[in-house]
Amino acid sequence: MCQPICKCIKKAFGRRVKKKIVRINSREMGVNENSMIKTEKEGKSLRISEMPSTPSKLKTETLTEIYRLPSREFTTVEEIVASQGFEMNNELGKGAYATVFKARRLRDNLLLACKVMDIGKASQSIAGKNEIFTMEHINHPHIIRLYKHFIVEYDHNQKEKRSRSMYIFMQLAEGQSLSDHMKSKPTGLPEDVCRRMFAQTTSALKHMHDRRIAHRDLKAGNILLDKNNNCLVSDFGLSKIARRKDNSVIKSTKYCGTMLYMAPEIFMIKEYGMDYDPFPTDVWALGVLLFFLINHEYPYTNPILEQALAHNFKFSYKKQFDPSNELFDLLYRMLHPYADSRLTMPEIYKHPWCAKELSAVEEAIIAKDKCQKVTGLADAKFEADLGVNTSKPKDIETSDSSSKSVTPVKSKISKKNFSKVKLHNAPKVFSQNRLSPNSTPVSTKVSQSRKVTTTKSPHSSPPQTTVGLATETSSPNPNEKSDSTSTSLGKN
C-alpha cells in the first residue's frame, strides 16, 4: 500500500517541480511566465506558445522534423526527399557551409531551390534555426518563400558524433543576385529602377519589422532577382526577434553582418561593448543598399567607422543621374550615425522621394492577395499539409499556431516503388554510399495525435556530403567581405 501512494505523490510533485523549473527559465528569457508554458495531458511533451527572444533558444525538434539514416523506412537521402514529395536535380551553387540544388515538386512539377546546410557545428545549427523560424513567420511577395524543411541525421560509429544536414526547400529565383546584377553594369542603375527596387526591398523589410523580426544582414548579395528583376529578400541566418509583444526593444550585443553594410553602433560593440537596437541597423543597411544601386560604390570604405561618424558621403562619376535634393535628404537621414536620429520605417514610407512607389507596391500586394483568395491559387490545403506559411503569418508570441507541430507528409509513393524514383542529374551527395536497411526511423516533429518515437539504430558511415551556408557572391567592391569573414554566429 505504501509504495503505490509514494509513487503517486512523487509523480504529482514531480510534475509541479518540472513546471516550476520551466517557468523560472521563462523568466530568464524575458517572457511572461503565466502564458508561456502550456502543458498537455496524457504525457505529451511541453509546447511553447510564446517564443523566446531568439530561435536559437528553441530545441531543433520543436522547429522541424528529423529523419535518421539508416532506418527501416529509408536507406538513402533521396528516398526521404521523395517521401516528402520532392526530387533533387543538379547543383546550382556552393558556399562555405551550404550547397544549393535545383529541385522539383512532384505534385505539380514546380521548380524550387533546395538549400542543404551542414548544422553539425553549433554556429551553423543556430543559423539553420534562424532561417526556418523566420521564413515560417513571414509571407511576402518580395521575400523568398518557404515550402518544406527537415533534418537528416547520419549515424557514425560509436566513437564519433552524429552529423546533421538541414534541407530547406524554397522558392527558386530565376534571376541572379542583385550583387551579380550590379557587377554586370558599368554604372549605377537609372533612378526609376533604383526607386522600384528600393521600394520592394523596403516593403519586405517593413513586413519583417511588423512581425518584430530584424534581418541583420541586408545586402545586395542577399537579395535575389526573379525573371522580371523584382527583388526577393533571402538568407535569414542572422535574423533575430527584436521586439517583445509590448513593443519594448530586445537589444543585441552581437557583432554581425557584412562590414560595408554595418551601422556605427555595431562597430561600437568591439570598441566599447555597447548593445544596440537591431531595427535601426536594418535601416542603415537599406540606406547603404540604395546608395550602392545609385552610385555603384559604397558610401563609406576603410576606415568605415570614422567616415560614418563624420557623416559625409559623396557621389561618384558612376551614377547615371544627378541625385535630387529629396534623394540626398533620404540618404542623409537613413545614414545618420546616431540610431536615435535615423529615419524609421514609417518615416521612410512618408518620404517624398519614395512614398508614391511604396504605396504602389503595397497596393499590388493587396491586389495579389485578393486574387489568390478569390481564385484559390494559394492552394491552402496543400500548404497546410507541408507546414507552409499561408496568407496570414503566424503570430510569434501569442498564437498557438506558431507552436503547433508539423505533421510529416505521407508519401504517395509506396516503399516498393522507392527504387524506381531516380534523381535526374543527381549530384554525388545523393548517390554515394547506400546504407544498411537494418535500422529504425525517427520522427521528432509530428502531429499532436502522434507520439514521438526514437530508437537506436546500428552505426554506419554516412554519405559523404558537402554542404555550407548560403551561397555568397563576390562583391563588386573588393572591400566587401563575405559572411564567413565578417559575421560571428552566436545566440544573440
What would you report as the CA-atom Rg of the chain, rounded to the nearest whole angstrom? 24
Q: What cell was used for 70?
A: 539508416
Q: Which residues contact 263 (CB under 8 A, 6 or more apart)?
A: 276, 280, 281, 284, 285, 308, 339
Phi/psi region, residue 309 (left: phi>0; alpha: psi -120 to 50; beta: rest), is alpha
Q: Is 224 helix (H, G, I), strand (E, B) or coil?
A: strand
Q: Cβ atoms within 10 A of the Cβ of 474, count?
A: 12
CA 468 to chain centre: 15
Taking alpha carbons only, the member of 219, 198, 200 closest to residue 143 is: 200
Asked whether 128 and 117 are in contact (CB, 8 A), the reply is yes
Asked whether 472 and 38 are in contact (CB, 8 A), the reply is no
115 is in an annotated binding site: yes
Q: Which residues contact 478 (CB under 8 A, 6 or more apart)?
A: none
Q: Is 429 helix (H, G, I), strand (E, B) or coil?
A: helix
Task: Give the integer Cα–Cα distance in Å for 248 and 246.
Answer: 6
The count of residues in the chain is: 492
Binding site members for ATP: 115
Q: Binding site: residue ranges?
A: 115
